[in-house]
Structures are given as C-alpha cells and as structure tokens.
Amino acid sequence: MILRWEGTLEIETSQERVWAGLLDPAILARCSGAEGSAREIGEYRWEVPARISIGMFKLPVTLEIAMHDLVAPSDGRMTITGTGPGAGLEGRSTVRLTSIGPDRTRLEWKAESTVAGPIAKFGAGLIEPVIQRQTEGFWEEFARAVR
C-alpha cells in the first residue's frame, strides 16, 4: 500500500538553523517518536527505536533514518525505513527550504510511505490515518524543535 502527503510550514527561524536541524540526529529521533536516542550507522544515517500505535496495539519498530541528495541549505531527501514484528514501513520525503525573511523559513515537504507485511493486510483501514498523522506530526514537531 502506497500513501502520499505533502505540506508547507513557515518556521520563525533562519534557513541555516532549519537546515542544521535536518542533520541533527537528536532532533530527528525526537520528532519521529523515538523511545531512545539515535545511534549513528553511517554518514547522515541513524537507527532509532520507536513504537507505532494502531488502535490499541503498540508495535515496536526500529527506524533507520537517512538523509541524502543534500544541497545545502535548501534541498534534501529523507528516507525512513521501519522494521519490526508484522511491520514493514518505508517513508521517503523531499524537503525544500526557502528563506522568506531574516528569521523566517518556508519548509515544503512531500512524503510517500509504503506499508507491507501483515500490518498492511490486517490494518489497511487503520494504518493510513495513523501514518498520515505521524508524517504530518513529524514535520510539525520538527518545526517546533528548530525554532
């Protein structure tokens, strides 16, 4: 199952500060709902323990967050892969930052998520709003974290 969303946020801080946040594993881990700290596994790649809540179930997942195709300080891509019991998740985002003032930045994001495995079959109707809420929530929390 493939799901797509996009959004735009205006953040009251400089483009450089927002860019630095995209490369900060502590910020990315916190915004992705981590239950622990990020562990570096490569350049701009981190592993993060998390949980995904679907209805009354909380599924443990290990998220791998990778930043790539970086064009500082304006464009980049993020990949998040989640693995765990019954869960196979992959999220891809593109990010574009535009300075719209000395301390104001427009963040435009597009996200696509793929859900596979038993969780997609069992919870297809439940998973879409959960993933959408988590994706939008990630970018909203990110905007708060870099202010």
The 10s digit of each residue's pLDDT in 94-107 is: 999 999 998 999 99
d(CA 76, CA 128): 25
What is the residue type of 34? Answer: A
Assign residue 125 the CATH number of its domain: 3.30.530.20
Using the predicted structure, report yes or no on whether residue 120 has a pLDDT greater than 80: no
- Which residues form the domain of 78? 2-146
More confident residue, 20 or 122: 20
What does the alpha-carbon distance between residue 92 and residue 82 come to, in Å, rounded to a whole number? 12
**In this structure, are strands 39-42 and 45-54 parallel, antiparallel, or unpaired?**
antiparallel
The mean pLDDT value for 69-93 works out to 88
What single DSSP character describes residue 1? -
**Token reading at 51:** 């949980």
Higher pLDDT, 119 or 85: 85
Q: What is the pLDDT of residue 122?
A: 59
Q: Measuring CA to CA, how many Å separate 71 from each of 17, 66, 139?
A: 15, 15, 19
Give residue 42's pLDDT. Answer: 95
Determine the pLDDT at residue 88.
73
CB 5 within 8 A of CB 129: no
How far lies 65's CA from each of 36, 100, 109, in Å? 14, 28, 16
Region 67-81: mean pLDDT is: 96
Number of domains observed in the structure of the chain:
1
pLDDT over threshold 90, residue 50: no
Q: Is 23 helix (H, G, I), strand (E, B) or coil?
A: coil
Which range has highest mean pLDDT (78-87, 95-104, 120-129)?
95-104
Q: Is the confidence at residue 112, as pLDDT, over 90? A: yes
Instruction: With a cut of 90, say whether residue 51 has pLDDT above it.
Output: no
- Distance, CA of 80 to CA of 92 (rounded, Å): 6
Note the pLDDT of residue 125. 66
Q: Which two tokens stand for residue 40?
A: 């570096």
